[in-house]
């Protein structure tokens, strides 16, 4: 599943390409995603212009010129493809965890602009598209989403109060979108490595110095991943067809049995399953 940095890269890319473009036609081939696409969706979009594309957590938000919105989440296997008339619609410019060419199957939604053809593909159909008819509807949709690590609300006091008397482990909390939004399994592993915190440590046992590290490195890791264009796991590409490179910075993720990269640490990277998620950590410096 794409995490905040990858969704941010696609947001930037799409905003650069289809911002201010008018929607000429909408074609829905399959409405049965995680939530059923309403029958009014085509009419809702037709002849509207994209004022901008923004992102909240792992969601893409398309702002229309009549002050309405539609929200897109890519789920486990959703991919966004943008192809242009210049190459006769043969190749895509962007894809999440897929091939650089447009897939033949599972192209559920197509949105046509004058110069581009936007396609949502999702074999497993865990992604979805939602309509928001006003800013109030948009705010209501995100009411249970926690602050992102970059948000001013993600403070030491906020984290400390949220953790107070809680027994759940810290890895579980970093994946809890009600606590902090945008972090997925890959970046949770990397954040805890930088913090030198054992993923199974209960949050009620964290010291204030460790909470400060969680705040700092949550922001640090995601910011660096965005700068590197995201992590290219299974062929993630941006709108220009370029790979993200943050996977070259991984300290623990997918490094099972390899040496810890910290200076003067002689530990090994171990793997265990926490809440059915692969968890990588150093058996020496993460305590």
The verdict on whether 2 is a catalytic residue reads yes
Pair 142, 92: CB distance under 8 Å: no
- The separation between CA 255 and the C-alpha centre of its own chain, rounded to angstroms, equals 22
**Which residues have CB under 8 Å from 279's CB, separation 6+?**
171, 185, 189, 199, 271, 272, 273
- The separation between CA 92 and the C-alpha centre of its own chain, rounded to angstroms, equals 20
Q: Which is the catalytic residue, given 31, 49, 271, 277?
A: 277
Q: Which is the catalytic residue, given 3, 6, 190, 210?
A: 3
Q: Which is the catalytic residue, given 2, 5, 149, 199?
A: 2
**Which residues have CB under 8 Å from 203's CB, separation 6+?**
163, 166, 167, 168, 169, 170, 173
The verdict on whether 3 is a catalytic residue reads yes
Q: Which is the catalytic residue, given 11, 17, 56, 58?
A: 58
> Which residues on adjacent β-strands are paired with residue 112?
25, 117
Rounded CA-CA distance 276/67 in Å is 41
Q: Output the CA torsion 80→85→90→93 (10° steps).
A: -40
The verdict on whether 8 is a catalytic residue reads no
Q: Which residues are catalytic?
A: 2-3, 58, 277
């Amino acid at each position: 599943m794409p995490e905040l940095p990858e969704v941010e890269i696609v947001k930037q890319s799409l905003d650069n390409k289809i911002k201010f473009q008018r929607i000429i036609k909408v074609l829905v081939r399959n409405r049965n995603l995680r939530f059923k696409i309403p029958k009014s969706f085509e009419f809702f979009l037709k002849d509207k212009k994209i004022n901008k594309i923004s992102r909240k957590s792992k969601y893409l938000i398309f702002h229309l010129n009549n002050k309405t919105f539609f929200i897109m989440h890519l789920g486990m296997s959703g991919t966004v493809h943008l192809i242009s008339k210049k190459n006769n619609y043969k190749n895509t410019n962007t894809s999440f965890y897929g091939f650089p060419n447009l897939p033949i199957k599972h192209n559920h939604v197509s949105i046509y602009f004058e110069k581009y053809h936007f396609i949502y593909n999702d074999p497993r159909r865990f992604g979805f598209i939602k309509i928001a008819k006003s800013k109030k509807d948009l705010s209501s949709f995100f009411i249970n989403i926690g602050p992102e690590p970059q948000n001013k609300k993600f403070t030491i006091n906020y984290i400390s109060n949220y953790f107070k008397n809680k027994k759940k482990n810290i890895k579980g909390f970093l994946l809890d979108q009600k606590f902090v939004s945008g972090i997925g399994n890959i970046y949770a592993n990397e954040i805890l490595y930088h913090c030198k915190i054992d993923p199974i440590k209960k949050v009620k046992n964290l010291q204030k110095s460790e909470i400060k590290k969680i705040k700092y490195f949550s922001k640090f890791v995601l910011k660096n991943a965005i700068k590197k264009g995201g992590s290219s796991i299974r062929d993630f590409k941006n709108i220009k067809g370029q790979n993200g490179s943050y996977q070259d910075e991984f300290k623990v993720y997918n490094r099972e049995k390899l040496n810890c990269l910290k200076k003067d640490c002689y530990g090994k990277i171990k793997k265990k399953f926490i809440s059915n998620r692969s968890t990588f950590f150093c058996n020496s410096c993460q305590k």
